[in-house]
């Protein structure tokens, strides 16, 4: 399954708030589809598989991953020492497109990925055009020294996607430069989900 490029509000109505996917808020509180309002009123119990699938979908849509990419991250997380769920989230949070979003340099993760893909972002003074690039503690994130690149990021900075920058990052607005100080802590991950259910979903396949 490839990366999702369809209507974003439809996904938010189905899965709940996904800060990385879209800044819009739906005026309809019920799920999408012809019978969405009826299904909301029915208190039908979800199966264990459905619950795990929903948590997996939250993660995939929020970070803009394909099924193959997410499966690869889960495989790496399970081989790494520590809690597989937390390691999975940390791997996703250290992606360059997510770091750009977290620093406020883009309103959403898809917008941040476009900035990176178009060559507007540098890591340690070298242009990086791959959104999935894994940042490390000590990396310096900056905007390409070009007028059009700086103008684009400055426009985005007026309307950041999140209110606060996480403690593991720091950002100098005047220089348009950020720094990764450490790996993110779980409490700073705003996405409401149970990451262990995602690991369990792939363990049962």
Q: How high is the pLDDT of residue 38?
A: 52
Number of domains in the chain: 2
Quick one: 154 and 113 in the same domain?
Answer: yes
Place of tokens 């893909």: 117
The CATH number of the domain where 57 resides is what? 1.10.1050.10
Residue 160 has φ and ψ, to the nearest 5°, of -65, 150
pTM: 0.84
Residue 143 has φ and ψ, to the nearest 5°, of -90, 140
CB atoms within 10 A of CB 154: 13
pLDDT digits (tens, 9 = 90+) for 119-139: 999 999 999 999 999 999 999
Quick one: 25 and 86 in the same domain?
Answer: yes
The packing angle between helices 8-15 and 48-63, to 10°, is 140
**Which domain covers residue 30, as residue numbers?**
8-91+189-203
Quick one: 111 and 79 in the same domain?
Answer: no
Q: Whole-angstrom Cα distance, residue 189 to residue 186?
A: 6
Quick one: 176 and 99 in the same domain?
Answer: yes
Rounded average pLDDT over 13-17:
77
Rounded average pLDDT over 139-144:
95
Quick one: 79 and 104 in the same domain?
Answer: no
Would the pLDDT of 112 be above 90?
A: yes
Token code pair at residue 22: 């879209």
The CATH number of the domain where 109 resides is what? 3.10.290.10
Quick one: 60 and 74 in the same domain?
Answer: yes
Confidence of residue 24 (pLDDT cuts 50, 70, 90): low
Please classify residue 58 by burial: count the beta carbons closer than 10 Å to its beta carbon, then call 0-12 exposed, 13-18 middle and 19+ buried.
Answer: buried
Q: Whole-angstrom Cα distance, residue 20 to residue 191?
A: 9
Nearest C-alpha neighbor of 186 from the set 77, 85, 63, 69: 85
DSSP 95: B
In a domain, 40, yes or no: yes
Token code pair at residue 184: 């993110």
């Amino acid at each position: 399954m490839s990366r999702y490029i369809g209507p974003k509000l439809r996904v938010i109505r189905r899965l709940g708030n996904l800060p990385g996917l879209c800044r819009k808020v739906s005026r309809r509180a019920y799920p999408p589809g012809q019978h969405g309002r009826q299904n909301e009123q029915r208190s039908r119990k979800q199966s264990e598989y459905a619950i795990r699938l929903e948590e997996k979908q939250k993660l995939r849509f929020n970070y803009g991953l394909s099924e193959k990419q997410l499966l690869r991250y889960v495989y790496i997380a399970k081989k790494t020492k520590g809690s597989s769920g937390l390691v999975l989230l940390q791997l996703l949070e250290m992606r360059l497109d997510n770091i750009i979003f977290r620093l406020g340099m883009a309103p959403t993760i898809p917008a941040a990925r476009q900035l990176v893909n178009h060559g507007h972002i540098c890591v340690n003074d070298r242009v990086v055009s791959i959104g999935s690039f894994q940042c490390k503690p000590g990396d310096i994130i900056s905007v390409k020294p070009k007028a059009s690149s700086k103008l684009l990021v400055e426009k985005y900075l007026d309307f950041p996607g999140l209110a606060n920058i996480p403690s593991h990052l720091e950002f100098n607005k005047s220089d348009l430069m950020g720094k990764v100080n450490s790996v993110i802590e779980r409490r700073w991950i705003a996405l409401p989900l149970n990451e262990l259910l995602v690991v369990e979903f792939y363990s049962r396949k």
